Amino acid sequence: MNVLAPKTLPPEAIAAEWLAACAGALERRDEAAIAALFLPEGHWRDLLAFTWQVETVNGAAAIAARLCGRLATVRPTALRLAPHRTAPRRVTRAGEEVVEAFLAFETEFGSAEGVLRLGASEGGPGGHRAWILLTALQEIRGHGDITHRQRATEKDYSRDFGGANWADKRAAARAYADHDPAAIVVGCGQAGLGIAARLTALGIDTLVIDREERVGDNWRRRYHSLTLHNEVHVNHLPYMPFPPTWPVFIPKDMLANWFEAYVDALELNVWTSTELRSGGWDEAARRWEVTLRRADGTERVMRPRHLVFATGVSGIPVMPRLPGQEAFRGTLMHSGAYTNGAAWKGRHAVVLGTGNSGHDVAQDLHASGAHVTMVQRSPTHIVSVQEAQRVYSIYAEGMPTDDCDLLATAMPFPVLRRAYQQATALSKEIDRPLLERLERRGFRLSDGIDGCGFQMLYLQRGGGYYFNVGCSDLVAEGVIDLLQHDRVERLVPEGLRLKDGSLVPADLIVAATGYENQQEVVRRALGDAIADRIGPVWGFDAGGELRNMWRPTAQPGLWFTAGSLAQCRIYSHYLALQIKAREVGLLA
């Protein structure tokens, strides 16, 4: 961005002047005037407000053309500063000094809000032009969620003595004895519960199913020492934030128990010990026919209009076939099955993989008294857990979480990449003493994809990094042994035979080798044709958006949600609005 010296106008006046100019250009449908409001390298990210898509447009001319193409349908009005949001201010984002403001407007379909980031530019309104514009639909007119409808009616003042009480009604709703839900959500983690809460609040009858016996078991059954790696204020679920008494890093069992409470408090319909066995799309009826199997072996065929996969980035474990595996006399397991190292005290353990799970499992085994060797298969990005919080810095600026969420979505891919590169370079300098010690031990380091650190690795690969909470120090000190995978020849009964003929003894091998793409989860449940039709899930597409996530797929009625608690909280809102729009006939 070519930033010039800004005028002395206060941020609010600068933002208001730009919005007034934009409102006039939109009303005239003046494409040239709209283009002149943006810096040449400007970006517009739209979350449903204009396009009914999750979409990014780059470059002033392309933005103006796309906006003008939607004006006759969307008919935006009342463009203004958002009255109940954080006031406009000067900030630095991705190294650029900008005026940042929240905006609001109305459309033919409902109310919308957004974010405006203005860079100083001679000739622009108030001496500024838009670097980044976010527009995001917040509510479909006439179909607001239940949080806007808590007003007592005559019925609420009456009491049904002798009739069904709340518990009776909840049991009946969960049973689905005489009807099918409009939506079935597969998976009961943060992704599944988040979208179920949003859909339920919008009045869409939703059933969540999960193979585990108990809500929260997807966290509860993981390894004993697990805690979240990002801070609590980033991680709230929709409608029900964590208590202010909670620890900064949430333990897995605490989170799991909260999930159970969340289901009860938000009246979500959940069937545990239930598996999606098969399903197909009925094109004529525009609905699914799916078979669900319960723990007792009974099956139920349901016909929802929407099927949401919320099985997460960690779905089907990748279990590599290792040469000589059949001969190995020890225990071989995936890291997803690992719980704790108590049984391996004084014994030899090998951890295959050096991502988060590999390091955490290795550290847990070491703490339990095992002799641990880590096998590195590929270069790994290492960042201290303190430095990893740098990418969530917006949430530490003191604004309400809802404001932070909107700001977080206003980072189009090119800017996001630059911001991550800057954060990674700074963290690398601060972590340099540890990183140099690791390199001296032979550990192969990576700065991530395009030097973007852990975030792009997560968003594109789902792994390949470690937040150091102590295991890197153990590796650097030689307390945990390190072995490069290319030195391994095969498994033998006693452990790993290396190419130089030496033996690494192993009673236990834990494969921390990641998970299949969610496309493969769909393939197992719905077959090859649907899986091939939708293509890969997660990772960025050519437009800089995550593939198939929170937006329509090539298969009607099939949706995906996944990611961190923050991602699930933010994007569940926009996914739910798209489903609601189809339920009320706004979209096909």
Would you give the distance in Å from CA 106 to the centre of its chain?
28
Report the alpha-carbon distance of residue 428 to residue 435 in Å, rounded.
Answer: 8
Q: Looking at the domain that runs over 325-511, which CATH code has it been given?
A: 3.50.50.60
Domains 11-140 and 171-315+516-583 share a fold: no
Q: Side chain identity at 194, as an amino acid letter? A: G
Residue 578, Cβ neighbours under 10 Å: how many? 23
Count of CA atoms in the C-beta half-sphere (13 A) of 117: 27
Burial (CB count <10 Å: 0-12, 13-18, 19+), residue 92: exposed
Judged by phi (left if over 0) then psi (alpha if -120 to 50, else beta), residue 426 lies in alpha
Residue 282 has pLDDT above 60, yes or no: yes
Burial (CB count <10 Å: 0-12, 13-18, 19+), residue 483: middle
Among 494, 473, 469, 491, residue whose Cα is nearest residue 482: 473
Structure confidence at residue 154 as a pLDDT band (50, 70, 90):
confident
Mean predicted confidence (pLDDT) in 176-194: 97
pLDDT tens digits, 494-548 = 999 999 999 999 999 999 999 898 999 999 999 999 999 999 999 999 999 999 9
Q: Which of these ranges, 50-64, 312-326, 367-381, has the smallest mean pLDDT?
A: 312-326
Instruction: Select, from the ranges 148-157, 208-217, 220-229, the one with the highest average predicted confidence (pLDDT).
Output: 208-217
Mean predicted confidence (pLDDT) in 293-300: 94
- Tell how strand 348-352 and strand 331-334 pair up: unpaired
Computed over every residue of the chain, the mean pLDDT equals 95
- Two structure tokens written together for 346: 């004084």
Burial (CB count <10 Å: 0-12, 13-18, 19+), residue 176: middle
- Two structure tokens written together for 555: 């298969």
Q: Looking at the domain that runs over 11-140, which CATH code has it been given?
A: 3.10.450.50
Residues in contact with 175: Cβ distance below 8 Å, sequence separation at least 6, in sequence order: none
Mean predicted confidence (pLDDT) in 288-295: 96
pLDDT attached to residue 3:
47
- Helix (H), strand (E), coil (C) string for 305-339: CEEEECCCCCCCECCCCCCCHHHCCCEEEEHHHCC
pLDDT tens digits, 10-63 = 999 999 999 999 999 999 999 999 999 999 999 999 999 999 999 999 999 999
Residue with tokens 């353990």: 349
Mean predicted confidence (pLDDT) in 289-295: 96
Determine contact, residues 302/181, Cβ cutoff 8 Å: yes
Would you give the distance in Å from CA 408 to the centre of its chain?
12
pLDDT tens digits, 427-462 = 999 999 999 999 999 999 999 999 999 999 999 988
pLDDT tens digits, 320-366 = 889 999 999 999 999 999 999 999 999 999 999 999 999 999 999 99
Report the alpha-carbon distance of residue 26 to residue 386 in Å, rounded.
Answer: 45
- Tell how strand 269-271 and strand 371-376 pair up: unpaired
Structure confidence at residue 1 as a pLDDT band (50, 70, 90):
low
Among 101, 100, 103, 125, residue whose Cα is nearest residue 112: 103
pLDDT attached to residue 4:
44
Determine contact, residues 343/510, Cβ cutoff 8 Å: no
Structure confidence at residue 150 as a pLDDT band (50, 70, 90):
low
Residue 83, Cβ neighbours under 10 Å: how many? 7
Give CATH superfamily name and number for 171-315+516-583.
Answer: FAD/NAD(P)-binding domain (3.50.50.60)
- Two structure tokens written together for 147: 């949080």
- Tell how strand 503-505 and strand 331-334 pair up: unpaired
Residue 331's DSSP bridge partners are 508
279: helix, coil or strand? strand
Mean predicted confidence (pLDDT) in 172-176: 96
Residue 332's DSSP bridge partners are 509
Structure confidence at residue 160 as a pLDDT band (50, 70, 90):
confident
Residue 308's DSSP bridge partners are 185, 559
Q: Specify the pTM.
A: 0.94
Domain ranges of the chain: 11-140, 171-315+516-583, 325-511
Mean predicted confidence (pLDDT) in 550-567: 97
Residue 204 has pLDDT above 90, yes or no: yes
- Two structure tokens written together for 495: 């452990």
C-alpha distance from residue 259 to each of 146, 210, 366, 393, 417 (Å) = 20, 13, 31, 26, 33
Report the alpha-carbon distance of residue 583 to residue 194 in Å, rounded.
Answer: 19
Mean predicted confidence (pLDDT) in 50-79: 98
